[in-house]
């Protein structure tokens, strides 16, 4: 099969396009003809050898990529929920082998969901990792309920754009932090209020929140606690030592006091069941993938460089076939 791969760590020029061995299918796995993938920031962090969980990354030759969207070609002997010809999407973590920058993908059945009808493979490929990160941050970590006030930091990015939509769809009152050029897009996704970080420091505002979701990971509970209601939750995507310590400490304190302001970390997990919940919201028209640009798989290096620039509004897609 054709794939984008690397044989050493480095800048985007280490990425090559060519033939790689087709992986075998295990009993609990599905083989997928992969039509599209996407670029996530962790891809270029892994590529350069600077990912926080680099020890989980497969060995060389390394095929990057987490998101996939395609058609089922083959099912393992123990697979019950899918059949050949199904249109599916999902994601893989480093510990699951990554390898979605490729014409074929092998994934465990539990990672996969049926694609919502009415969307393309390129749209579907922009959904899994970012929507799952947002869903797990808000629903599993933040215990989002209708009427809660939610602040999304980094609202115009891949994770942030889904977080705004998911929080809104589930009844949250959403404020968003992004730059002024992205304001209309973020308001269109459902945010009630947008804070332009070039003009205003959100930390100096008078609003308070039940959940602060920091998709950028540049803040902390210590910095944001003044904006949280008692019992509120600060959720970060970055497992820094300080965040890990705060998570353990506040979780313990919360056993004795409901007013404890908590730190939670979201390390996205592959989950077909969570992705199915996201798909329901897509089918209902309550959320949609925001796509910035589509690159052919042969231009993955350029797609990485564009992602690294942090200028993308929404998702960067790789079209594979």
- Which SS3 state, helix, strand or coil, does residue 26 take? coil
**Do residues 202 and 214 share a domain?**
yes
**Do residues 169 and 65 share a domain?**
no
**Do residues 83 and 146 share a domain?**
no
**Do residues 94 and 156 share a domain?**
no
Tell me whether residue 275 is in a domain. no
Q: Print the domain residue range for 152.
A: 130-265
pLDDT of residue 14: 98
pLDDT of residue 101: 98
204-238 pLDDT per residue, tens: 988 999 999 999 998 999 999 999 999 999 999 99
**Do residues 248 and 303 share a domain?**
no
pLDDT of residue 314: 86
**Do residues 138 and 261 share a domain?**
yes
Strand partners, 293: 316
Parallel, antiparallel, or unpaired for β 67-75 and 29-39?
antiparallel
Tell me whether residue 109 is in a domain. yes
Tell me whether residue 25 is in a domain. yes
pLDDT of residue 27: 98
Could you tell me the pLDDT band of residue 184, with boundaries at 50, 70 and 90? very high
**Do residues 117 and 49 share a domain?**
yes
* CATH number for the domain harbouring residue 165: 3.40.50.720
284-311 pLDDT per residue, tens: 999 999 999 999 999 999 999 999 998 8
Tell me whether residue 194 is in a domain. yes
The count of other CB atoms within 10 Å of the CB of residue 180 is 11
**Do residues 71 and 191 share a domain?**
no
**Do residues 134 and 260 share a domain?**
yes
239-275 pLDDT per residue, tens: 999 999 999 999 999 999 999 999 999 999 999 999 9
| SS3 sequence of 252-282 | HHHCCCCCCCEEEECCCCCCHHHHHHHHHHH
Number of independent structural domains in the chain: 2
Tell me whether residue 272 is in a domain. no
pLDDT of residue 81: 96
Tell me whether residue 279 is in a domain. no
Distance CA 301, CA 291 (A): 18
Tell me whether residue 245 is in a domain. yes
- Exposed, middle or buried, 45 (CB in 10 Å: 0-12/13-18/19+)? middle
pLDDT of residue 120: 98
* Closest residue by Cα to residue 130 from 94, 87, 164, 181: 164
The count of other CB atoms within 10 Å of the CB of residue 142 is 25
Q: Would the pLDDT of 93 be above 90?
A: yes
Q: Would the pLDDT of 3 be above 90?
A: yes
Give φ, ψ of 131 to 5 degrees: -70, -40
**Do residues 240 and 157 share a domain?**
yes
pLDDT of residue 189: 97
The mean of the pLDDT values for the chain is 96
Distance CA 31, CA 108 (A): 9
Tell me whether residue 282 is in a domain. no
43-85 pLDDT per residue, tens: 999 999 999 889 999 999 999 999 999 999 999 999 999 999 9
142-171 pLDDT per residue, tens: 999 999 999 999 999 999 999 999 999 999
**Do residues 254 and 295 share a domain?**
no
**Do residues 167 and 256 share a domain?**
yes
* CATH number for the domain harbouring residue 67: 3.90.180.10
């Amino acid at each position: 099969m054709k794939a984008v791969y690397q044989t050493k760590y480095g800048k985007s020029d280490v990425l090559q396009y060519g033939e790689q061995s087709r992986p075998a299918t295990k009993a609990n796995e599905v083989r997928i003809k992969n039509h599209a993938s996407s670029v996530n920031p962790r891809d270029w962090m892994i590529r350069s050898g600077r990912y926080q969980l680099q020890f989980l990354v497969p060995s060389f030759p390394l095929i990057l990529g987490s998101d996939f969207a395609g058609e089922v070609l083959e099912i393992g002997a123990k697979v019950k929920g899918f059949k050949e010809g199904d249109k599916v999407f999902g994601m893989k973590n480093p510990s699951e082998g990554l390898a979605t920058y490729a014409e074929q993908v092998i994934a465990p059945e539990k990672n996969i969901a049926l694609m919502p009808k009415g969307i393309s493979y390129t749209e579907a490929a922009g959904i899994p990792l970012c929507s799952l990160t947002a869903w797990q941050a808000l629903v599993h970590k933040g215990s989002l309920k209708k009427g809660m006030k939610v602040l999304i930091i980094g609202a115009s990015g891949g994770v942030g754009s889904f977080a705004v939509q998911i929080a809104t769809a589930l009844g949250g009152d959403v404020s968003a932090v992004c730059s002024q050029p992205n304001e209309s897009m973020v308001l269109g996704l459902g945010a009630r209020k947008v804070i332009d970080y070039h003009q205003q420091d959100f930390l100096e505002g008078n609003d308070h929140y039940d959940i602060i979701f920091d998709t950028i990971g540049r803040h902390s509970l210590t910095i944001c606690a003044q904006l949280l209601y008692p019992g509120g939750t600060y959720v970060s995507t970055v497992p820094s030592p300080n965040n890990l310590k705060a998570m353990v400490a506040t979780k313990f304190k919360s056993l004795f006091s409901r007013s404890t302001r908590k730190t939670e970390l979201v390390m996205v997990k592959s989950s077909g069941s969570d992705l199915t919940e996201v798909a329901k919201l897509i089918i209902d028209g309550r959320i949609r993938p925001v796509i910035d640009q589509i690159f052919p798989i042969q231009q993955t290096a350029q797609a990485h460089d564009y992602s690294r620039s942090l200028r993308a509004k929404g998702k960067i897609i790789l079209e594979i076939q």
